[in-house]
């Protein structure tokens, strides 16, 4: 018994040591930064004009993200509120009656004293009636609200044929014995980008926004496996 306790204590200490050493946030390759494609100058003779076709020169444009590898700041302004209520009332009444049959003009009677366990010896006919009533009532209310605000700077991963930009990026933070991750990807329209090279998250199409964390604080907020069983639909009660 003493050796078993020593083994468990050693395993717990080793787990705590390994957990404490792994403090570097893990990069997600799906949200990795994109780097610009090397620019190749066109092989053509100079015509003497200020504008040269094929050169990436923007004289009358703001400095906005428009090429692969360019940087764009997404302003997170997500807020959702949802509520739902339902009421169910079910009632069912049923009744049936069986009259006593008449056989050859006579009404059958079951009144044999001492042979049948009847409370009386007369008026024991086949006439019977049955009635039942069922009623069910239920009510449920549900409300949920979420909000996420902040800024995250991403890079342009690709430029679509219509000029829209595919963006992606993530922010990794190590705070208070845990890591926090903010990830975003989607499609933006260059016309929605402001002169300050920013865009609100509400104008990101096909947006995927992830806010997650790991570490001691995140583990403390997780529901244990036994509690998950009692809260799951398979629990009979």
Dist CA 114 CA 112 (whole Å): 6
For residue 125, tell me if it sits in a domain.
Answer: yes
Longest CA span, the chain: 130
Mean pLDDT across the chain: 77
- pLDDT band, residue 132 (cuts 50/70/90): confident
Nearby residues of 53 by Cβ (< 8 Å), 6 or more positions away: 42, 44
pLDDT confidence band for 65 (50 / 70 / 90) = confident
22: pLDDT strictly greater than 60: no
Give the mean pLDDT of 18-31: 68
Residue 29 included in any domain? no
C-beta neighbour count of 166 within 10 angstroms: 17
**Residue 101 covered by a domain:** yes
Of residues 110 and 213, the one with the higher pLDDT is 213
115 DSSP 8-state letter: T
| Whole-Å CA distances, 46 to 53, 54, 90, 98, 135 | 10, 12, 85, 109, 90
Share of the chain above pLDDT 90, in %: 24
Which of residues 35 and 127 earns the better pLDDT score? 35
Would you say residue 204 lies in a domain? no
Q: What's the whole-number mean pLDDT along residues 133-149?
A: 86
Is 153 a member of any domain? no
| Four-point Cα dihedral 48, 52, 58, 61, nearest 10 | 90
Question: How far, in Å, CA of 176 to CA of 218, rounded?
Answer: 11
CA 92 to mean position of chain CA atoms: 39
Q: Which domain holds residue 125?
A: 85-140
CA angle 78, 25, 206 (to 5 degrees): 30
The vertex-181 CA angle with 164 and 217, nearest 5°, equals 160
For residue 75, count other CB atoms closer than 10 A to its CB.
15
Confidence label for 153 from pLDDT (cuts 50, 70 and 90): very high
| Rounded Cα distance, 73 and 147, in Å | 19
Residue with tokens 């000029």: 163
Q: How many structural domains compose the chain?
A: 1
Choose the weakest-confidence range: 147-156, 184-193, 222-231. 222-231
- Residue for token pair 């449920």: 140
Q: How far apart are CA 9 and CA 16, in angstroms?
A: 11
pLDDT at 135 over 90: no
Lowest mean pLDDT among 40-54, 145-159, 168-182: 40-54
pLDDT band at residue 205 using 50, 70 and 90 as cut-offs: very high
- 4 falls within a domain: no
For strand 205-215 and strand 178-188, is the pairing parallel, antiparallel, or unpaired?
antiparallel
**pLDDT value at residue 79:** 86
Query: 211 in a domain, yes or no?
Result: no
Q: Which residue has better confidence, 39 or 25?
A: 25
Interval 70-81 mean pLDDT: 91
Show Cβ contacts of residue 114 under 8 Å, excluding neighbours closer than 6 positions: none
Would residue 159 count as lying in a domain? Answer: no
Split at pLDDT 50, 70, 90, the class of 47 is: low
pLDDT band at 129 (very low <50, low <70, confident <90, very high): confident
């Amino acid at each position: 018994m003493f050796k078993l306790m020593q083994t468990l204590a050693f395993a717990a200490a080793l787990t705590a040591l390994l957990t404490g050493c792994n403090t570097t946030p893990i990069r997600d390759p799906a949200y990795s930064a994109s780097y610009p494609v090397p620019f190749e100058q066109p092989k053509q003779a100079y015509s003497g004009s200020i504008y040269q076709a094929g050169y990436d020169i923007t004289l009358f444009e703001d400095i906005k993200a428009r090429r692969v590898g360019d940087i764009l700041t997404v302003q997170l302004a997500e807020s959702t509120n949802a509520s739902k209520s339902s009421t169910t009332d079910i009632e069912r009444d049923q009744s049936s009656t069986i009259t006593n049959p008449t056989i050859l003009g006579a009404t059958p009677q079951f009144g044999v004293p001492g042979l049948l366990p009847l409370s009386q010896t007369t008026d024991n006919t086949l006439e019977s009636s049955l009635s039942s009533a069922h009623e069910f009532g239920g009510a449920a209310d549900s409300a949920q609200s979420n909000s996420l605000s902040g800024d995250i700077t991403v890079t342009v991963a690709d430029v679509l044929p219509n000029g829209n930009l595919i963006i992606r990026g993530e922010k990794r933070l190590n705070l208070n014995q845990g890591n926090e991750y903010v990830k975003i990807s989607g499609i933006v329209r260059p016309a929605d980008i402001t002169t300050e090279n920013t865009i609100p998250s509400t104008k990101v199409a096909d947006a995927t926004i992830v806010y997650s964390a790991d570490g001691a604080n995140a583990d403390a907020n997780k529901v244990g496996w036994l509690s998950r069983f009692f809260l799951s639909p398979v629990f009979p009660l």
